[in-house]
Structure 1
Amino acid sequence: MDITAPSARTDGTARTTSKGLPSAGALLSGTLLSLTGLVWDIQWHYDVGPDTFFTLPHLLLYAGSAVAGVTSLVVVLAATAAERGGHPVDPVIGGHAVGVFGRTFTAPVGYLVSGVGAALFLIYGLWDQWWHGLYGFDAVLESPPHMGFLLSITLTMAGAVMVSSAARDQRWGAVTAVVGLAVLLGFSTATTSGLSALGGGVVDLPTIGLTFMSVLTVVMGARLFDRRGGAFSVAGVLAALQAFYWWFSPWATRVYADSIDLPMRDYVTGVPVMMPMCLLLAAGVVELLLARARRQDRSAVRYGLIAGGIGGFIVTATAPLQAALFLGAPPGTDSTAVDMTAGAILGLVVTVVGALAAGVAAGFLGVRFGDMLRRLAPAREGR
């Protein structure tokens, strides 16, 4: 695998494109497998019930991390061989190379991050197997090994975004970066649900967590490209993923349950994992404010803070409406009833205030992280 930098005497653009795309595409495919497995697994818990370690949704999760891990390992070994042969590693391939274990290995930083995530997934996967052997079925998502390997997959997805960002000047790099950010946000829908295990009293911690990740991701997308359309692209790809999973996960769950003779629950929603559908509106706010910062040559951080606060309010305020519209009320309850107790109102107010603060923080970090991703790409003359 040739990942060395092109010669200064030749035009290496086409060769760089052909070198970087296969490994970045394989890594992104692994993250898509993981997201699909997770959405399917959550649908299974909703519509069928508890599961064991070896189910088809779980196997998709495992396969996604395996693909990402093997891809990262191959690139690291190729980079190590190139470095030892006296050939510089092309920074378009996953970012600048760093030494690992005292320069025993040389790893492009993006593939190092994704590889570490895949290795951690293996550890947490073994813990999950032991957990199932000790306790049997998992009735909920928020078991300790589950949250561990969900966070490890999130790390792998962050590495995939870094790999694509290093090649953002190539068309394939821009496309895979947008898809990678959307996949990361979609996966965060489940990861942030683990915040419910912390309690929080009247505060809806999962909603605040999802608000933070939503704003962070779209602001990162806008700042990464620093031109019109970055935030909209991330939100649009997420909407396309939601549309696909809306059809796929209920269908796959029913077919798989029938194939192994397991009954569906009496109350089946037929609704997949709910990703924030209002994200296009929040992305529009981000686009407008960051475009104004570019036109006026103002600080992107200042406008990122404002966009984060407004975007956080939009995501949080529309989350209950989305849940009521598509999930409805449980059987035997009045779907038109609205909880207007003092506790419910207090919880809503505190959650909105917390989400505003989370949105502002996400706006600030989104600009900063976007700048970090921009620096992964090799410098060009005149840029």
Structure 2
Amino acid sequence: MLDSPPHIGLFVSISITMVGSLIVCAAARETGWGRAGLTLSIPVLVTFSPITAKAFDALPLPVEPDTVGTVFFATLLLITGTLTLGRPGTALMIAAALAGMQAFLWWFSPWAARVYADSVGLPQRDNLGDEPPNLPAEIPLFAVLGAGAISALLWLGRRRGWSGRVLPQVIGAVGGLLIALSMPVQEALLGGSRSVSVDLLPMAVVGVLAGALAGYLAARFAVLLRERPSPGRPAGPAEHAAPAVTKDR
């Protein structure tokens, strides 16, 4: 089970490790490997960080904690990556990398597990039946919708001079709402038992609130990630400025 104490500890460790990778790649964002590393580190964080919320499964909540974690972390990291790199379409590139990782885990991992089990003669093979693989099934299938909304709203906000104090929360609320509303649909597509219509209202509330908080924090995390000057360039006043989205226009 992914919510066992050893698994929670493992996923926390993976998340902390990938945060370190994110910091290193953000410092080298002016290089090709830095941008590529940032784009690939974030999907790993989106995959593993929400699982730590399973530690709160015992609480009587209207929405499963790991689902809230998925909405929050996916929105937070998509916006953080976009503001850190400051390039158009960053959120969409991250969502594409996430989809590639999901496809790899969905098809390659079960095949590799079967091959390994056959090679050593294991009679029992967990999670290799008709049910979808646990880990890739919990990655948001429709993250690209949230990423598209984030990219479009950020472009529109900058073009029209919206206040940087409000724009991150708006971007987060809309992106979080789309990701949240896609989760019940994802469960239905994967054979879940819960009704889509029952889940929509609480999921919408979770999406807006968690997304707005994610946007607020993402703008500030991006400032911290951009503080360190890129290698080979002297530190200047622009290096210590917040991304354009965090300033009032």
Fold shared per TM-score above 0.5 = yes
1:238 is aligned to 2:104: no
Q: Work out whether 1:182 is the aligned partner of 2:46.
A: no
Q: Could you tell me which residue of structure 2 aligns to residue 303 of structure 1?
A: 167
Counterparts in 2 of 1:144 and 1:266: CA distance versus 1, 3 Å: closer
Q: Deviations over 1:71-124 (max 9, x none)?
A: xxxxxxxxxxxxxxxxxxxxxxxxxxxxxxxxxxxxxxxxxxxxxxxxxxxxxx
Residue by residue, what CA displacement relative to the aligned partner does 1:210-249 show, whole Å, maximum 9, x if unpaired?
A: 1000100100111011220111111111011111112111
Against the structure 1 CA distance between its residues 180 and 169, is the aligned structure 2 distance closer, same or farther, given a 3 Å change threshold? same
Number of the residue aligned with 1:257: 117
- Quote how far apart the aligned CAs of 1:150 are: 1.7
Counterpart Cα distance in 2 of 1:221 and 1:175: 11
Task: Give distance in 2, aligned partners of 1:313 and 1:297.
Answer: 23
What residue in structure 2 maps to residue 215 of structure 1? 75
Deviation at 1:187, TM superposition (A): 1.7
Is 1:323 matched with 2:187? yes
> Displacement, 1:160?
0.5
Which residue type is aligned with residue 326 of structure 1? Answer: L
Aligned to 2:205: 353
When structure 1 is superposed on structure 2, of 159-168 and 303-312 the one drifting more is 303-312
* Residue 185 to residue 339, structure 1, CA distance change in 2 (3 Å): closer
Partner SS for 1:300 = coil
1:176 Cα deviation after fit: 0.6
Q: Does 1:161 align with 2:22?
A: yes
What value does the CA root-mean-square deviation take over the aligned residues? 2.4
CA shift in 2, pair 1:159/1:299, >3 Å: farther
- Find the residue that maps to 1:271 and give its secondary structure: coil
CA distance in 2, matches of 1:271, 1:172: 34
Specify every segment of 5 or more residues in structure 2 that has no aligned partner in the other structure, as ranges.
Answer: 239-249
Distance 1:262 1:190, change over 3 A: farther
State percent identity of aligned pairs.
34
2-side partners of 1:145 and 1:157: how far apart? 18
The one-letter code matched in structure 2 to 1:353 is: V
- The residue number in structure 2 matching 1:248 is 108
Q: Check conservation: 1:204, 1:351, Cα contact below 8 A.
A: no
Q: 2: distance between equivalents of 1:162 and 1:193?
A: 26
User: Offset at 1:208?
Assistant: 1.2
193 and 327 in structure 1: CA distance in 2 versus 1, 3 angstrom threshold: farther
Which residue of 2 is the match for residue 281 of structure 1? 145
Please say if residues 162 and 376 of structure 1, whose CA atoms lie closer than 8 Å, have aligned partners that are also in contact: no
Counterpart of 2:166 in 1: which secondary structure? helix
Shift of 1:161: 0.3
Unaligned runs of 5+ in 1: 1-139, 330-336
2:221 to 366, 369, 381: 369
After superposition, the Cα gap between the structure-2 partners of 1:230 and 1:265, relative to the gap in structure 1 and judged at 3 Å, is closer
CA distance in 2, matches of 1:339, 1:223: 33
Number of the residue aligned with 2:247:
none
User: Are the structure 2 counterparts of residues 359 and 382 from structure 1 closer, same or farther at C-alpha, using a change threshold of 3 Å?
Assistant: closer
CA distance in 2, matches of 1:374, 1:307: 20
User: Does structure 2 retain, via aligned residues, the 8 Å contact 1:312–1:360?
Assistant: yes
Distance change (3 Å), C-alpha of 1:203 and 1:159: same
Report the residue type matching 1:226 in the other structure. G
Aligned counterparts of 1:161 and 1:191: Cα–Cα separation in 2: 19
Distance in 1 (CA, whole Å) between partners of 2:165 and 2:236 is 26
- Which residue matches 2:246? none
Superposed CA deviations along residues 124-161 of structure 1, whole A, max 9, x for unmatched, are: xxxxxxxxxxxxxxxx2222233123212211110110
> Are the counterparts in 2 of residues 224 and 230 from structure 1 also a CA contact under 8 Å?
no
CA pair 200-351 structure 1, distance change in 2 beyond 3 A? farther
Report if aligned partners of 1:290, 1:300 keep a CA contact under 8 Å in 2: no
Tell me which amino acid in the other structure corresponds to 1:152: S
1:1-383 correspondence runs (5 A): 140-196=1-57, 198-258=58-118, 259-264=120-125, 268-269=129-130, 271-272=132-133, 273-274=136-137, 275-328=139-192, 338=195, 345=198, 348-378=200-230, 379-381=234-236, 383=238
